Homo-oligomer: A and B are copies of this chain.
């Protein structure tokens, strides 16, 4: 009997926003796995750190930063092979994923490589989208309102077209794209309603109107723009 691969969402940052199931699986894991970027620390591991028992085996998948996809693909191939070796021994592997495994998560690269050979269970997590809405006190959508989620690296013209036709808009992964996004929102006359949230639910969280946001944002940051989710008073 092969082991089971668990893709476990650990939520947006505050360890208390892990699910009971995530906490149980991580606390009982003999082997955890997680990616790191170019030798950096793992955000997902830092969220789960308090639950990882001493002596737990850790499979670190270090993904190089490069424009070319091949080196990252090779890193996931190698990581998947190391996970598969543990699963083949009949032992389970708990893969730690910030937010939710299937929502802009790197777990899907492992999932694609392993799902045909092993039993995989995905444990959904709280995404940064609703965590940011909670911290900004901005309801995202009610009744028949639409929600559009856009990654910040999209080209300016596509961002403009998508935002212009949308109701509630969530723009993720701001980073060095913040200036471009700000220009689009200014141009559409929407910058005044936009909120900026960075590192939601962590100790160094920032929540402010977009006008007060820094010039360059961290990767884990977001703009929320709701055309006033009708509070139905």
Please give the residue numbers on chain A whose beta carbons come within 8 Å of chain B beta carbons, in ascending order.
9, 11-12, 14-21, 23-24, 69, 72-73, 76, 100-105, 108-109, 111-113, 115, 120, 122-127, 130-131, 133-135, 137-151, 153-154, 162, 229, 231-233
Contacts and interface: CB of A to CB of B under 8 A. Distances in A.
Given A19-B17, A126-B125, A133-B103, A144 B151 contact: yes
Copies in the complex: 2
Contacts of A21: 14, 16-17
A125 B134 CA distance: 10
B113 A124 contact: no
B140 A103 contact: yes
A124 B131 contact: yes
A93 to B, nearest CB: 17
Nearest to A132: B124
A100 B126 CA distance: 9
Nearest to A229: B108
Contact of A140 (B102, B137, B154): B102
